[in-house]
Amino acid sequence: MTTQARPRERLLDAAGELFYRDGVNVGVDALCKAAGVSKKSMYQLFRSKDELIAETLASQGPLYQRALEPGEDGGTPRERILTVFQRQDRLATGDSFLGCPFVNTAVELKNPEHPGSVVARHFKQRLTDFFEAELVAAGVDDPESLAIQLTMVFDGASARAVVRAQALAGVGVAMAATLLDSAGVPAEELASQAG
């Protein structure tokens, strides 16, 4: 975080780091100190800490998504889905990995109507929608249910990495591949032979 950044950006950056590392119950004093802004400035920029929580997730959510999703790089639906789990596997090997920021926030807040929970739910739905679009492209019978199952595997793998404090070592990738196999989504080799 640069000191030349504007107070709003400094608050969002500091909050993103502190909320992810220490949880959303970090005090306003600590947030303001880390951002180098006064409490008065914070409350001029954000109506409440709840709004800051939601804005922080909304500003950092796209970065997290880009770290996971394959973008428009091509590949078969199976390859694109498994890319998410492979990238999660790599993220989970780092010391700074503390789980999915959206699940972490929603679990800590415990209130589904909290603005932060609403933003978290939006981003989790976007992941499910990504899976569903790929499954529709693959021609599976019930893409909606399978997309939900893949999201549950993703969230479970994140939780396992945090609780066990160890790398996933491919367990999420393997579980996702098993679900895709059971739905008849062809392996990469079969898809490329067919093309």
CATH of the domain at 150: 1.10.357.10
User: Could you give the count of Cα atoms lying within 13 Å of 86 in the half-sphere of its Cβ?
Assistant: 9
Q: Is 92 in the same domain as 185?
A: yes
Domain membership flag for residue 126: yes
C-alpha distances (whole Å) from 135 to each of 22, 27, 120, 177 are 36, 43, 23, 13
Query: What confidence tens digit (pLDDT) does each residue in 20-47 have?
Result: 999 999 999 999 999 999 999 999 999 9
Helix (H) or strand (E) holding 96: none
Coil/strand/helix, residue 129: helix
Q: Is 70 in the same domain as 109?
A: yes
Query: What confidence tens digit (pLDDT) does each residue in 137-191 have?
Result: 999 999 999 999 999 999 999 999 999 999 999 999 999 999 999 999 987 644 4
CA dist., res. 175 & res. 154, Å (int): 9
Q: Is 41 in the same domain as 65?
A: no
Residues 90 and 152 sit within 8 Å (Cβ to Cβ): no
pLDDT for position 186: 84
Domain membership flag for residue 52: no
Domain membership flag for residue 18: yes
CATH of the domain at 4: 1.10.10
Domain membership flag for residue 70: yes
Work out how many domains the chain is built from and give that number: 2
Domain membership flag for residue 127: yes
174 token code pair: 């393997």
138 token code pair: 């693959």
Domain membership flag for residue 56: no
Domain membership flag for residue 51: no
Q: Is 74 in the same domain as 130?
A: yes
CA dist., res. 3 & res. 122, Å (int): 31
User: pTM score, two decimals?
Assistant: 0.88
Q: Residue 13: give the domain boundaries.
A: 1-46
Query: What confidence tens digit (pLDDT) does each residue in 55-103 have?
Result: 999 999 999 999 999 988 789 999 999 999 999 999 999 888 999 999 9
Q: Which has the closest alpha carbon to 146: 120, 185, 107?
A: 185
Q: Is 71 in the same domain as 157?
A: yes
Q: In terms of C-beta distances under 8 Å and separation of at least 24 residues, what long-range contacts does 112-118 make, across chains too?
A: 114/50, 114/53, 114/54, 115/50, 115/51, 115/53, 115/54, 116/24, 116/50, 116/53, 116/54, 116/57, 118/54
Q: Is 184 in the same domain as 129?
A: yes
Q: Is 86 in the same domain as 121?
A: yes
Give first-to-last CA distance, the chain, whole Å: 47
Q: Is 36 in the same domain as 117?
A: no
Q: Is 69 in the same domain as 136?
A: yes
Domain membership flag for residue 140: yes
